[in-house]
Amino acid sequence: MANDLNRYNGFLGNLGSWMNDDFFKDFGKNMFSKLPVKSDMKTDIKETKEAYQVKIDMPGFDKKNIHVNYDDDTLSIVGSRDSFSDESNKDGNVVYSERSYGQFARQYHLPDVDRDKVAAKYDNGVLSLNLPKLEEVEDSSTHIEID
């Protein structure tokens, strides 16, 4: 039994060193680096009784390339980023790049927003929005007794 356990532990140790080999170091990163990543626009939404406060990380965007729309209880953000020049090696090839460019979009369901009072600001790569809620209308219903 002890011999079997030692062989098993030895196998696991060898497997671990094999998996840490430089060949596999960036295997997953390289394999999936071309897939679209939802995390390009990290978002925080805070809801109070009066409003929604939304903050979206959008570094590298030009303000003129960010479009904000609110329709049918949905806040839509679309931003585009042009290609960029990057450092390249002596042959002119890009050595490594994790930055992405193109069009990015997110939508958020935020009901009952007063469209006329929405405010947006873009500063230091963060889009901040204040979306006041519609003021509640007093209940104008009347209870009717049934005879």
Q: Which residues pair with 102 in a beta bridge?
A: 81
First and final CA of the chain: distance in angstroms? Answer: 86
Segment 123-140 mean pLDDT:
85
Q: Which two tokens stand for residue 98?
A: 């994790």
Q: What is the model's pLDDT at position 32?
A: 44
Q: What is the model's pLDDT at position 41?
A: 86
Strand ranges (E), 48-113: 51-57, 66-71, 74-81, 102-109
| Percent of the chain scoring above 90 in pLDDT | 44
Burial of 144 (0-12, 13-18, 19+ CB in 10 A): exposed
Q: What is the model's pLDDT at position 69?
A: 96
Q: Which of 45, 39, 38 is nearest to 129 (CA)?
A: 45
More confident position, 76 or 41: 76
